[in-house]
Amino acid sequence: MLIRVPKSWELPESAATPESAYLLRPKPVVPRRDFLKTIGTGAAGLAAASLLPSSLRGATAGFPTKVNPAHRDPALKPTSYELITSYNNFYEFGTDKADPKPNSQGWKTEPWTVEIGGLINNPVKIDANDLVMKMGGVEQRVYRFRCVEAWSMVIPWDGFPLSKLIAFADPKPEAKFITFTTFNDPKNVPGQRRPALDWPYFEGLRLDEANHDLSFIATGIYGKPIPNQNGAPLRLVVPWKYGFKYGKSIVKIDFVAKQPRNTWQVMAANEYGFYANVNPTVDHPRWSQASERVIGEGGAFGRRQRTLMFNGYEKEVAALYKGMDLAKFY
């Protein structure tokens, strides 16, 4: 007898969207190709972008986003927008995961200037929206997200590959690392008035890690501008690393020669390293990393799943760490 076991990613026929509903889905007002032409005209492009329905905007000013099929694994079931935007670690806005959402409402992220500097040929101070236009708009990628606290989500990020920004900055040969600095605004941000962490938040990557195709700068979630509590308007996304590497609300990107420290390493070097690669075989000193809780699944009692090496991106990134002792370089 043949018993067919459905694959975890298989959907029943009943879950398919009826064609009539599919055809009714919102379409971009400006087709993508035309949009790319339009952005060349600067302000006019922005005006056109702001006419788009909000569901299709991926940055502060609103940019049409398009799913990148290479980063849309049908086996990944995205976590609900509600949970992604209400369960956050963002100590600038409070240390409880429910704090950032209420505490960050009304905090101004527009206009937003980001400074790109250090060992590069093209240092600039640039408006976040202008930067997105320079990067050719945004695309959507669905990535796994694994927090160092052993919980996980699946997040549809909108944004652009970090490699594009690096090409734009044009690093000098001496540049070996890249750093990301979060804002410092104790006047308007309650958490920064207390010395919970060594403000401002600071993160870094090796330049080859940053240039990897998976490294991403997010400007949106689910096609909407990224909310304040998730790190508006520009947030680093490195899906094979623990969530604390994803520097939020970036104001400064620096290219440097020496390996930088990062905020959590400064706080507790025995618990958080520079690499912070997701690794089920290397435990946190206080808990195991072998499995993770899937946020929003399985009802009240939840569901746990095995954590994958490099968070499931082993095939793509393992070569970056060839020959390295990952228990030492955690």
Partner 1 sequence: MPANLLRRKWVVWVLLVAPGIWALWPLFRPSPSDADPLKSALLHLGLVAAILLAVVLTFSPLRVLWPKWDVAQALNRHRRLVGVAVFAYALLHVVAHTLHVYDGGFATLLKELQKPFQLTGLVAFAILFVLTVTSLDAAIRRLGGKRWKNLHRFVYLAAALTIYHQAAARKIFPLQVVWIFGPVLVLQAARWWRVRRNKTATA
Q: Which residues bind partner 1 (CB under 8 A)?
A: 82-83, 86-87, 91, 95, 97-98, 149, 151, 196-197, 264, 267-268, 271, 283, 285-288, 290-291, 293, 295-296, 299-302, 304-306
What are the backbone angles phi and psi of residue 43, rounded to the nearest 5°?
-55, -40
Q: In sequence order, which residues have a C-beta less than 8 Å from that of residue 85 and are 6 or more positions away?
A: 101, 221, 227, 229, 230
Q: In sequence order, which residues have a C-beta less than 8 Å from that of residue 328 and are 6 or more positions away?
A: none
Give the shortest CB-133-to-partner 1 separation in angstroms: 35
Give the shortest CB-95-to-partner 1 separation in angstroms: 7
Nearer of residues 63 and 264 to partner 1, judged by Cβ: 264
Give the shortest CB-264-to-partner 1 separation in angstroms: 8
Nearer of residues 174 and 271 to partner 1, judged by Cβ: 271
Give the shortest CB-259-to-partner 1 separation in angstroms: 23
Give the shortest CB-89-to-partner 1 separation in angstroms: 9
Nearer of residues 86 and 163 to partner 1, judged by Cβ: 86
Alpha carbons 148 and 286: distance in angstroms, whole number: 11
CB of 182 closer than 8 Å to CB of 248? yes
CB of 143 closer than 8 Å to CB of 238? no
Nearer of residues 86 and 211 to partner 1, judged by Cβ: 86
Please, is 326 exposed, middle or buried when counting C-beta atoms within 10 Å of its C-beta (0-12, 13-18, 19+)?
middle
Nearer of residues 258 and 306 to partner 1, judged by Cβ: 306
Alpha carbons 242 and 144: distance in angstroms, whole number: 10
